[in-house]
Amino acid sequence: PTVTVKNAADEILTEGDDYIVTYSDNTDAGIGKVTVIGAGQYYGLITKNFIIKPGKPKVGIKLYGHDDIQGTWDAQPAGEGITMKYKVEYKRSTWDKYALLSSAWSGISYKKANLVDGARYRFKVTPYFEADGEKYEGTPGYSSYIYTLKKIAAPRVSKSSRSYVRLRWT
């Protein structure tokens, strides 16, 4: 975050001349720190914490079996002492809302089995972490849609000649 420092007369001070700003723990999701140190005619030091929310995960989807899907996403980096979790949801294209699969998943993939044959589905993954009794969510990532396959009926086999077999299916 940007820092604005004012003196007792409510005048905005100049960074570099009147104070120096340093940041720590501010690259990954979690709790970052900013320290302001007085310079020139000003003295003192103050450290404040700020929240860095998780980024938006890139979400993929693939078919395994004819009516099962698996969503995968990139792990979101977390600062020291922070455990990243994921709210995982899925949706059939004809539904108005997403259905919850897990509200606190810690892995980077999730499988949903035994879906409707020939239907279109997608995943939604929202990264989050909890700190000091608060929940901090990142931006959700969405997969593209994928269709499950319709299961074909068992083929009918018939002998068409001495050296050939005929297979028929719907």
Name the pTM for this structure. 0.81
User: What whole-number percentage of the chain has pLDDT above 90?
Assistant: 81
Q: Give 158's strand partners.
A: 166
pLDDT for position 36? 97
Question: What is the spatial distance between Cα 100 and Cα 109, in angstroms, rounded to a whole number?
Answer: 14
Least confident of 16-20, 130-134, 153-157: 153-157
Question: What is the spatial distance between Cα 165 and Cα 170, in angstroms, rounded to a whole number?
Answer: 17
pLDDT for position 1? 83
Residue 19 φ/ψ, nearest 5 degrees: -160, 160
Question: What is the spatial distance between Cα 3 and Cα 19, in angstroms, rounded to a whole number?
Answer: 10
Q: Is the pLDDT of residue 150 over 90?
A: no
Look at residues 73, 81, 76, 83 and name the one whose alpha carbon lies nearest to residue 129.
Answer: 83
Question: What is the spatial distance between Cα 105 and Cα 124, in angstroms, rounded to a whole number?
Answer: 13
pLDDT tens-digit map of 56-94: 999 999 998 889 999 999 999 999 899 999 999 999 999
